[in-house]
């Protein structure tokens, strides 16, 4: 299992899990390789029994592939906790270096790291950290984009993408931040949020990448 193949499995999981097939096009976009390269690599991985291909339709992880993907995510998120909690990383820095470190996550290491960090439930960006046995209970969250004016809620999870993370951190948004939606622009217009200390505006696109708890 090379770092390369690991990335294919991880992205396949993130894009579809066990729910639905993932197209080669999506894979080629997130992995930034040519579609032909995706076909080729997926064929190898399917021969290894890690995923199943429906030709021209898409592919999906097998239980074996799932196990590997989840352990990568576990490593990634534990490393993020370490980098932010102990080394003073920013959100986006932590994500970047965790992308490298996740490929060095034998269970001997991740299990001990987990203990050292005192078994954190969430990564700094709000994603659930799978347990050592691969178990992972995702919370049911909603998109900020689906809130209405007047709703009050809490930031629970954000998608991990460098520029987006920097943008959020500059705005002062953190996991757990409580806010009230004070206005929602029409036609995918911006959301205005009242935080504890200040009011900020975020684009509709950003609102689609932020998960929040049920509003009250």
Taking CB under 8 A as the rule, does residue 1 contact a copy of itself? Answer: no
Number of residues that bind a copy of itself (CB under 8 A): 17
Binding region for a copy of itself (CB under 8 A) out of 32-40, 66-74, 100-108, 142-150: 100-108
**Which three-class secondary structure state does DSSP give residue 210?**
strand
Whether residue 64 contacts residue 5, with contact meaning beta carbons closer than 8 Å, is answered with no
Closest approach of a copy of itself to the CB of residue 105, in Å:
9
Taking CB under 7 A as the rule, does residue 52 contact DNA? Answer: no
Which CB sits closer to a copy of itself, 87 or 143?
A: 87
| CA atoms of 60 and 53, how far apart (whole Å) | 7
| CA atoms of 139 and 135, how far apart (whole Å) | 13
What is the rounded (10 degree) CA torsion for 138, 143, 147, 150? 70
Q: What angle do CA 164, 72, 210 make, to 5 degrees?
A: 25
| Residue 143 contacts which entry, a copy of itself, DNA, none (Cβ below 5-8 A, type-dependent) | none
In the chain, the N- to C-terminal Cα span, in Å, equals 46
The gap from C-alpha 34 to its chain's centroid, in whole angstroms, comes to: 23
**Which three-class secondary structure state does DSSP give residue 55?**
coil
List 37, 62, 171, 203, residue binding DNA (CB under 7 A):
37
List 5, 14, 23, 97, residue binding a copy of itself (CB under 8 A):
97
Closest approach of a copy of itself to the CB of residue 88, in Å:
6
Nearest Cα to Cα of residue 107 among 137, 145, 142, 134: 134
Taking CB under 7 A as the rule, does residue 38 contact DNA? Answer: yes
| Residue 164 contacts which entry, DNA, a copy of itself, none (Cβ below 5-8 A, type-dependent) | none
Per-residue mark of binding to a copy of itself, 109-128 (x: CB under 8 A): x--xx-xx------------
Chain residues that interact with a copy of itself, rule: CB under 8 A:
83, 86-89, 93, 97, 100-101, 104, 106, 108-109, 112-113, 115-116
């Amino acid at each position: 299992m090379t770092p390369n193949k690991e990335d294919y499995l991880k992205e396949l999981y993130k894009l579809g899990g066990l729910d639905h097939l993932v197209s080669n096009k999506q894979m080629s976009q997130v992995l930034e390789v040519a579609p032909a390269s995706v076909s080729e690599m997926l064929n190898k991985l399917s021969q290894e029994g890690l995923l199943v291909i429906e030709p021209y339709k898409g592919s999906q992880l097998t239980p074996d592939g799932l196990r590997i993907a989840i352990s990568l995510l576990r490593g990634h998120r534990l490393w993020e906790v370490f980098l932010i909690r102990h080394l003073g990383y920013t959100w986006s820095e932590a994500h970047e270096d965790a992308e490298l470190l996740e490929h060095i996550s034998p269970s001997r290491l991740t299990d001990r790291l987990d203990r050292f960090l005192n078994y954190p439930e969430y990564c700094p960006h709000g994603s659930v950290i799978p347990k050592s046995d691969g178990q992972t209970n995702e919370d049911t969250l909603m998109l900020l984009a689906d809130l209405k004016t007047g709703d009050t809620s809490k930031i629970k999870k954000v998608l991990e993408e460098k520029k987006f993370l920097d943008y959020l951190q500059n705005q002062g948004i953190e996991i757990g931040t409580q806010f009230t939606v004070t206005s929602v622009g029409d036609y995918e217009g911006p959301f205005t949020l009242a935080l504890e200390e200040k009011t900020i505006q975020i684009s509709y696109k950003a609102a689609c990448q932020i998960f929040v708890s049920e509003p009250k």
